[in-house]
Amino acid sequence: MKTSNTRIYKGIPLDIRTELNSYIVLDTETTGLSPVNNRIIEVAAVRVDHGEITGQFQTLVKPPLNPYGQLVPYQITRITGIDAGMLKDAPSFEEIADDLIEFISDLAVIGHNVNFDINFLYESFERCNGYHFSNNFVDTLSASRKLLPGISHSLGDLAQYFNVVNNQAHRAMSDTLTTYRCYLKLREMALQNGAVTAATPYRARSSGWFF
């Protein structure tokens, strides 16, 4: 069975203090927890340039039927509110892949528990067109654990800590915008106290230099 160890083109985690003039914040909703066996049912992303949101991408995604003949399991509908009726006329991932690649480009990706989203996108792109999703990324979950060890680290709890309102939790665009606002708060904290928040040092892929 395929494992994360075979995602050889996957990008690397960046310290939250890394200065990024342009970046993507994104979130996905999925039919389950396995990037190999489950599928994306919603993806949302915003592009940020010099501190301003300059673009948005959002779509529901119609997955193939699961072994039980379902588009989306009941438990996922309970969490997200996304049901089969909302997905039946949505585009497939194959139909949105090129537009999503163009939107994300080669920019760093920010997300909460972003490895989850990265792994689903990696598998989805590879499955439909062989594209290697290799963008580097910043994980606000990892940063939260290092900077705020005394709190719970779900996106909802982090948003509450920072007084950030999430109007539609577990929907991709609302979670994306909430993650963006929490990222700004966390990065400010990291810059003030000098905490190292990346799982590994920043590394330029082409040269092997460490910074």
Query: Which CATH class for the 22-193 domain?
Result: alpha beta
Structural domain boundaries in the chain: 22-193
Which pLDDT value is given to residue 193? 86
Distances (CA, A) of 74 to 62, 78, 107: 15, 6, 35
State CA 46 to chain mean position distance: 11
Reported as a single tens digit per residue, the pLDDT across 59-69 is 999 999 999 99
Q: How confident is the model at residue 194 (pLDDT cuts 50, 70, 90)?
A: confident
Beta bridge partners of 13: 137
Q: Is 132 a catalytic residue?
A: no
Which of 71, 83, 76 minimizes the C-alpha distance to 170? 76
Q: Is the confidence at residue 195, as pLDDT, over 70?
A: no
pTM: 0.90
DSSP letter assigned to residue 21: S
Q: What is the pLDDT of residues 69-127, one digit of tens each?
A: 999 999 999 999 999 999 999 999 999 999 999 999 999 999 999 999 999 999 999 99
What element of type H or E holds 95? helix 93-104
| Percent of all residues in the chain with a pLDDT value above 70, rounded to a whole number | 90
CA distance 211 to 105: 23
Distance from C-alpha of 132 to C-alpha of 121, rounded to nearest angstrom: 10
Strands 108-111 and 40-49: unpaired
Q: Is 205 a residue whose pLDDT tops 60?
A: no
* Residue-level pLDDT at 198: 52
Helix (H) or strand (E) run with residue 176 in it: helix 172-193
Rounded CA gap, 201 and 125, in Å?
Answer: 26
pLDDT above 90: percentage of residues in the chain: 88
The token pair at 151 is: 């709190």
